[in-house]
Amino acid sequence: MDALEKLKLLGPATCFEPAEEVGNIGRASSHSDDDDNAFIHNAVMPGGKRIALLKTLLTSACERDCTYCPFRQGRDFRRAAFSPDELAALFMRLHKKGTAEGIFLSSAIAGGGPRVEDRLIATAEILRRRYEFQGYIHLKIMPGAEREQVVAAMRLANRVSVNLEAPNAKRLARLAPHKDFDEELLRRLRWIEEIRQEMPGRRPSSTTQFVVGGADESDVEILTTTEYLNRQAGIARAYFSRFSPIPDTPLEEHPPTPPMREHRLYQASFLLRDYEFITEELPFDASGNLPLESDPKLAWARAHLSDTPIEVNTADRRDLLRVPGIGPVGVDRLLQERRRGHLRELTDLNKLGVVTNRAAPFILLDGRRPVHQLPLWPV
């Protein structure tokens, strides 16, 4: 196979690894008449910048037996592998054409995690040193990668990530019976944060990913681990990939996870990261799951603010962040505007970027509930 034929096999495989993309899951370019564009994704970088991102695996050959994974050993499908030189040259061809601005590089595991990590690092080194590529690189840290390999990857990449897959060792055993949650995975995320604190100048961000629903875990399990990683491992964000059964795998009969569950987990994870919520405050049901029918922030507000609304003119930052329709940027603008005088009308808030139809039921303006139109249906 030539390099482009390999990309046709290895590029789509990254649909199982959400990273940076609009809508959390990569969407290939619409230029179906151009093979070079077929695996480029409209991606959102840390900081909000959009770039054209090539996503691919280095290889789909795998020695692991993860119960949900299409690349598990023994599964019958056509596999492929790039050499570091081959993939770097292909990417630079796309980059010089203006097709790809950055690269996300992951891999299945053949020959052990450290061997695969060496090949990922070698690809990035060729891009940085031989081709003098200065753009965006996201490298996956393989299970069992050595600490010096993590250091090397972080010197080359703008972002690194470790796929935890499950929120704890018990759940991981259902998905990946021969992976060690603490030693192979979680320890690498801790290393990344330690190394980042020691690095001068530019420091790469880090992320992780969970497979949602394959191990019958609860949302509270996932979000408890996410909160820990936010606080203790300094991750930029967690990604959630809803379980979808793959034929010829041990979990092929397991029911798929509803898309809305994945969406609610993203909403809740942002509350933990950006809105000063803690896991215990989130509106879990008796089974430890978030309600699918309601945004978790709105569900919390209905339970806690409907009878005790927040006075916008005196509330502190933490309380303002709990009001639906007010985000971190809106809070900053609101606090600044309060120094100039009292806010008395919804139009005053609207000018600050507050979504007033969401906020109105839960606030007071100068001691009065603002007049607002009730929604026609629940949200």
d(CA 188, CA 277): 26
Q: Which residues of the chain are in CATH 3.20.20.70 domains?
A: 3-281
- Helix axis angle for 219-232 and 259-274, nearest 10°, is 30
Give the per-residue pLDDT at 82: 97
Q: For the chain, how many residues are written?
A: 379
d(CA 185, CA 195): 16
SS3 (DSSP) at 343: coil
How many CB atoms are closer than 10 A to CB 332? 14
Q: What does each of the 379 residues of the chain score in pLDDT, given as a tens digit?
A: 899 999 999 998 888 888 887 533 334 443 344 555 668 999 988 778 899 999 999 999 999 999 999 999 999 989 999 999 999 999 999 999 999 999 999 999 999 999 999 999 999 999 999 999 999 999 999 999 999 999 999 999 999 999 999 999 999 999 999 999 999 999 999 999 999 999 998 899 999 999 999 999 999 999 999 999 999 999 999 999 999 999 999 999 999 999 999 999 999 999 999 999 999 999 999 999 999 999 999 999 999 999 999 999 999 999 999 999 999 999 999 999 999 998 999 999 999 999 999 999 999 999 999 976 555 444 5
DSSP 62-114: -----TT-TT-TT--S---B--HHHHHHHHHHHHHTTS-SEEEEE---SS-HH
Q: Tell me which architecture the domain covering 305-364 has in CATH.
A: Orthogonal Bundle (1.10)
Task: Please give the class, per CATH, of domain 3-281.
Answer: alpha beta
| Eight-state DSSP code of residue 245 | -
For the range 125-130, what are the long-range contacts, defined as Cβ-Cβ under 8 Å and sequence gap of 24 or more? 125/84, 125/156, 126/84, 126/85, 126/88, 127/88, 127/91, 127/92, 127/103, 128/156, 130/88
Q: Which residues contact 104 (CB under 8 A, 6 or more apart)?
A: 14, 17, 19, 20, 43, 53, 54, 55, 56, 138
Which value, to the nearest 10 degrees, does the dihedral of the CA atoms of residues 211, 217, 221, 226 take? 0
Exposed e or buried b per residue across 89-121, where buried means at least 16 C-beta atoms within 10 angstroms of its C-beta: bbbbebbeeebbbbbbbbbbbbeebeebbbbbb
Q: Which residues of the chain are in CATH 1.10.150 domains?
A: 305-364
What tokens does 186 get?
């979680």
What type of residue is 100? A
Exposed e or buried b per residue across 234-272, where buried means at least 16 C-beta atoms within 10 angstroms of its C-beta: bbebbbbbbbbebeebbbeebeebeeebbbbbeebbbbb
Give the per-residue pLDDT at 376: 43
| Eight-state DSSP code of residue 288 | S
